[in-house]
Amino acid sequence: LASMSPTGHRTVLRAPYAELGPERAVDPVRLGLPDPVHHGHPASATVPYTPDLELDWVHGWSLTRDRTTAVPEHVAYWDASPGRPRVV
């Protein structure tokens, strides 16, 4: 589930996926990245993703792992982190 904006206390991590790794975060590649042909288009708000790109992350609950995991903040909250990179 996603929300327009956070409605309570949240902890934001700022780090690249390469630093967090698969045990702590969802790989943005698994979320379905846009076709690279659209990068740079005026209507596109996304930037090209690399594992070294610093993103803002929030904690979510993984139903498949039965524990918390970090997800990109802009995926969890549509209106979060204005001016920060968006990859999805």
Tell me if 16 sits within 8 A of 53, measured CB to CB: yes
Give 69: exposed, middle or buried? Use CB within 10 Å, 0-12, 13-18, 19+: middle
pLDDT at site 50: 95
Answer yes or no: pTM beyond 0.85: no
Amino acid letter, 74: H
Give pLDDT tens digits along the chain (88 positions).
555 555 566 678 999 999 999 999 999 999 999 888 888 888 888 889 999 999 999 999 999 999 999 999 988 887 766 778 888 8
Give 35: exposed, middle or buried? Use CB within 10 Å, 0-12, 13-18, 19+: exposed
pLDDT at site 55: 95
Q: What is the DSSP letter of 33?
A: P
pLDDT at site 8: 61
Query: How far apart are the C-alpha atoms of 88 and 71, rounded to whole Å?
Result: 12
